[in-house]
Structure 1
Amino acid sequence: MSTVISADGTAIAFERTGEGPPVVLVAGALCDRLATSLLATELGRHFTVIGYDRRGRGESGGTAPDTVQQEIEDLGALIAEAGGEAAVYGHSSGAALALHAAAAGLPITELVLHEPPFYLQEDQEEREESQALLQRIKELLAQDRPADAIAAFLAPTGMPQQLIDFMSQNPGTQANARTLPIDPFEVVSEASRGGRTPIEQAREVAVPTLVLCGGASHPWMIETGEQLAAAMPNGRHLVLPDQGHIVAADVLAPALTDYLTRP
């Protein structure tokens, strides 16, 4: 484990795997670099892979409330550590952060957005439900009830109850729970995009981009991926047959390798 110092002086923990062109892996909500460790090992056969603990997680620093801008700066510090430019892979809300970073002009050579959780047709009722859930999570965290906050966040996703129970009782996941108000809520919000829609933000990103979806994922997730890729000047959409939101490293790595090593 090594650390890099972000713009505000926060130490960000990371691990470097393999040798070759640099790729930075951005994990999703509640996850630290352990979530991407198997993927890092697979990709390390062809690339120098940097997996890191997003601020407030694992061995990285950070003082709540952190901001999306600070997370963009963290990613910028890691890209600088990688040599000044790098490809970036983001999963779920980590993909939303990666899109923010590309739109902010970070030196990203290629971008892979794996099922960014944007509701493109969100109505007022859904917005109100999301805000109510965010407020409930903030209340539970203020009461020092991270397990309940995690369970409240995961319940609407359709995740099996047994897995919700496992994650909510996991000490490592509980330690990361304080980041929930930022990720996923703030990082996918309209405010974080300066009032733009995800499609409007995507139109501004000229970086060659692959938007990945699983064929067994929710139809709205696949539709979101299609529309994002179509909006991007250099976007491409790829559906992984029979896969859901979480894809095994030995299935995901070949798709990433193929894209990142194409002529």
Structure 2
Amino acid sequence: MTIQERPQAAELTTSFVTSDDGTRIAFHTIGHGPGVVLLHGSMETARNHVTMAEELADAFTVHLPDRRGRGQSGPYGDDYSVRKEVEDLDAVLNETGAHYVFGVSASGVAVLQAARTLPAIHKVAVYEPALLLEDIPQLTGWIDRFDREMAEGKVAAALVTSMLGLRLGPPIMNVMPRGLLTWLTGLLTKSEDKNAKPGDATMRMLAPTLHYEGVLMAELADTLDRFADVQAEVLLLGGSKGLPFLKPALSGLEKTIPHVERIEFPGLDHDASGDVSKRNPAGRPEIVAAELRRFFTAAA
């Protein structure tokens, strides 16, 4: 059962569906045609992929869920795992009748996991899925420190911990004093808070979600072989300037998944699929959307 709200910006309508554990999941819809679900990545909500949705809306009915814990969706709950992500996606697919799914980073690896068990998924496109080929301590061991800093209200320090742990920043971050990085991040978060418009999801608001993205990555680390049973068609996407530690996973998935195609975009980075913003000036969603259009339109 869904609850309809009045149309919002860009002619999106907002609906709600209930996941298996009772959590309410919001999704925003635009367009006409076969259904496509676009799942956002870390430190984002559904509103970060509106441009991509608009690019596809003339040929597809595009659904943009807020992953749990973000936007208008319900909380994570006490037993969060990739299973919850799969159940949430399953609820949206059952409600909308969509058969095509896109995911990026953490949601990308969750989508691939969903494709192993949900027959409704016929085609999957993922942009730099956050799959670690082994449980690398640096990439999963930052969560305890992050949790302590968040509990102490040190949001800027926690954001720096996650960025260093996940190697999200430029190389210069690795040689800058942590105190300086924390101070600069604090200035940025304060500026964003001051200029935020109603409905904006700021870094401060989204910071707690990073714990769960870390949990997801740790849970799925060293699970490459399991994706050999994905029967859906899969499009692997990435940028030449994407995160280096995720490139081995793309190569491994290309060799493991039976029905697969891989494309690397010259000059694009890890956040290329997201809307252009102050936080994401290098976003190129129209380029990524063009490949999604081709892939989802092509005959099986």
Over alpha carbons, which structure has the higher Rg? Answer: 2
Match of 1:217 in 2: 242
- Matches of 1:69 and 1:5 in 2, distance apart? 15
**Is the contact between residue 151 and residue 164 of structure 1 (CA under 8 Å) also seen in structure 2?**
yes
Match of 1:207 among 215, 222, 232: 232
Q: Which amino acid aligns with 1:7?
A: D
The secondary structure found in structure 2 opposite 1:241 is strand
Match of 2:90 among 49, 55, 76: 76
TM-score of the pair, normalised by structure 2: 0.77
Cα offset for 1:168? 4.4
**Is the contact between residue 236 and residue 260 of structure 2 (CA under 8 Å) also seen in structure 1?**
yes
**Is the contact between residue 151 and residue 168 of structure 1 (CA under 8 Å) also seen in structure 2?**
no
Match of 2:60 in 1: 47
Match of 1:62 in 2: 75
TM-score of the pair, normalised by structure 1: 0.87
Choose 246-255 or 213-222, whichever is displaced more.
213-222
Cα offset for 1:176? 2.4
- Matches of 2:290 and 2:24 in 1, distance apart? 32
Cα offset for 1:167? 6.6
Q: Which amino acid aligns with 2:294?
A: D
Change (3 A) 1:21 1:236: same
- Matches of 2:160 and 2:119 in 1, distance apart? 34
Identity %: 28
- Matches of 1:5 and 1:105 in 2, distance apart? 17
Change (3 A) 1:240 1:201: same
Ranges in structure 1 where 5+ consecutive residues have no aligned partner = none
- Asked if residue 140 in structure 1 is aligned to residue 153 in structure 2, the reply is no
Change (3 A) 1:176 1:18: same
The secondary structure found in structure 2 opposite 1:95 is helix
**Is the contact between residue 90 and residue 118 of structure 2 (CA under 8 Å) also seen in structure 1?**
no
The secondary structure found in structure 2 opposite 1:211 is strand
Match of 1:241 in 2: 266
**Is the contact between residue 156 and residue 185 of structure 2 (CA under 8 Å) also seen in structure 1?**
no
Q: Which amino acid aligns with 1:70?
A: K
The secondary structure found in structure 2 opposite 1:212 is strand
Cα offset for 1:217? 2.4
Match of 2:168 among 157, 169, 180: 157
RMSD between superposed Cα atoms in Å: 2.4
- Asked if residue 188 in structure 1 is aligned to residue 209 in structure 2, the reply is no
- Matches of 1:213 and 1:63 in 2, distance apart? 28
- Matches of 1:167 and 1:6 in 2, distance apart? 35
